[in-house]
């Protein structure tokens, strides 16, 4: 489907942000940038965060069985994430960061403990019920993009909508809007192999946002990008978060963590702070 011509060029970070959780529109916002590591940002434009967690984890554990022995990846993880937070999960390699994120993203079902999403007890639900909540609330951004090589940019953005009860005309409109907001209308017919790493990650972020999730989970979202591309992605995340989208990212970068509001540290599968 042909998309309308893009608006005049504007920075990625200023071009796209939700005016309310799940409502994405043009933002005329405050300056962006990292805070000092671990510092909670006191932004004048941030709403007071409700006390009810959007995600609540209680005694989450995951292990691999080797005969009679168990190798634990996560031990007794209890965490709450409030709506509107931008949390960075940090720790050395092997600390369990990505495992925790994939549990929250419902890509991993082999764990024990309690997981509440918007108050719903995922630990007590079946696979189909979890999948419905995942589609409704979770957008996931991978380090390695995870775009489908045999689909164009347009088709990659359309794919998540095709799994939902969204009419074709509405899907086309949503995809065109996303292409415009990310200034990639001219690349809609290209395949991932024809894009740079930064462009592929922009498409991946757009795909995560197209269904208007309430939570963005990002696993090392700038890990394969050079510094300027990485900064653009983090500024975009910060703008989205400033208007209410909850973001939880795994990162090794103190610089990237400085864009958020809180840092959670893991070590050897345990909470370290």
Structural domain count of the chain? 1
14, pLDDT greater than 50: no
pLDDT of residue 33: 60
Q: How far apart are CA 107 and CA 101, in angstroms?
A: 9
Tell me, yes or no, whether 39 lies in a domain.
no
Tell me, yes or no, whether 146 lies in a domain.
yes
pLDDT of residue 35: 53
What CATH number corresponds to the domain at position 140? 3.40.50.300
Q: Would you place residue 20 in the very low, low, confident or very high pLDDT band (cuts 50, 70, 90)?
A: very low
Q: How far apart are CA 247 and CA 83, in angstroms?
A: 9
Tell me, yes or no, whether 168 lies in a domain.
yes
| β-pair partners for 71 | 64
pLDDT of residue 2: 62
Tell me, yes or no, whether 246 lies in a domain.
yes
pLDDT of residue 5: 52
Tell me, yes or no, whether 98 lies in a domain.
yes
Domain interval for residue 79: 50-271
């Amino acid at each position: 489907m042909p998309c309308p011509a893009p608006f005049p060029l504007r920075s990625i970070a200023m071009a796209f942000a939700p005016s309310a959780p799940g409502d994405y529109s043009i933002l005329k916002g405050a300056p962006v940038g990292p805070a000092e590591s671990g510092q909670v940002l006191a932004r004048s434009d941030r709403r007071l965060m409700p006390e009810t967690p959007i995600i609540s984890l209680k005694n989450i554990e995951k292990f691999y069985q080797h005969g009679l022995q168990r190798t634990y990846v996560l031990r007794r993880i209890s965490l709450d994430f409030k709506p509107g937070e931008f949390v960075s999960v940090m720790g050395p390699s092997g600390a369990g960061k990505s495992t925790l994120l994939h549990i929250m993203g419902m890509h991993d079902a082999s764990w024990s403990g309690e997981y509440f999403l918007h108050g719903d007890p995922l630990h007590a639900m079946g696979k189909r019920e979890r999948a419905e909540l995942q589609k409704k609330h979770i957008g996931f951004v991978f380090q390695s993009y995870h775009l489908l090589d045999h689909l164009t940019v347009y088709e990659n953005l359309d794919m998540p909508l095709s799994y939902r009860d969204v009419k074709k005309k509405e899907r086309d409109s949503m995809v065109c809007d996303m292409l415009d907001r990310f200034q990639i209308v001219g690349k809609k017919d290209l395949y991932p192999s024809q894009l740079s790493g930064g462009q592929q990650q922009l498409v991946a972020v757009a795909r995560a946002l197209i269904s208007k999730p309430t939570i963005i989970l990002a696993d090392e979202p700038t890990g394969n990008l050079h510094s300027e591309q990485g900064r653009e992605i983090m500024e975009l995340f910060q703008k989205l978060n400033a208007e209410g989208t909850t973001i939880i990212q795994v990162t090794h970068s103190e610089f990237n963590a400085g864009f958020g509001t809180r840092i959670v540290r893991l070590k050897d599968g345990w909470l370290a702070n």
